[in-house]
Amino acid sequence: MLNGPPACGKSTLARRYVEEHPLSLNLDIDVVRGLIGSWRDHAPAAGLLARSIALAGARVHLTGGHDVVVPQLVARPAFIDQAAALAGELNCTFHEIVLLDREENSVRRFVERSAASQSTFRDTAEMLGRQGQLTRLDEMYDQLMAL
C-alpha cells in the first residue's frame, strides 16, 4: 500500500512498480470508484464499495502469485487492517509505505493537478467540492499524520 496525501507521488510510484514487475497490479481505488454508476451522487457509499471491490480483486491477483500495489490516501485504519489481514490470510507480505511532504506543498500540488491533470484528480476535487471538503485538505493531512 502506498499511502500519503493527495499529489505526493503515490500513483507515479505505483505505475513505475508495475512497469518493472510483470503481471503486478496497480489497483487504484479511485479508478475502481469511477467505474461505479452515479458514484458522485453517492460518494461515501461508492468509496466503501470501491474498497471492497479492490480487496476482492487483490485476493484474486495475490492468489495467482502476483504483486498488488494500492496507491491510496488512507487516513483511517480500517482499510489498512483489511488489506493487511488479506495478505496474512494468503501468506503474502504486506507493506504500507507512506509518502509525505509538507502540508502546504501537498495542498498546492493537489489544487494544481486538479485544475490541469488526470481525470482522477479532477474527479476527487469535484467530489471534495460537492462534500464541502475541498478546503479541508489540511484536515485530511492531519488525519493521516495522526494515523
Domains of the chain: 2-146 (3.40.50.300)
Q: Which residues contact 88 (CB under 8 A, 6 or more apart)?
A: 94
Q: What is the pLDDT of residues 55-65, one digit of tens each?
A: 999 999 999 99
Q: Which residue has the higher pLDDT, 35 or 111?
A: 35
Q: Can you give the pLDDT at residue 116?
A: 66
Q: Can you give the pLDDT at residue 138?
A: 78
Q: Which residues of 92-118 are buried (b: 16+ CB within 10 A; e: fewer)?
A: beeeeebeebebeebbebbbebbeeee
Q: What is the pLDDT of residues 12-23, one digit of tens each?
A: 999 999 999 999
Compute CA distances 76 → 3, 31, 125, 141, 143, whole Å.
11, 20, 20, 12, 8
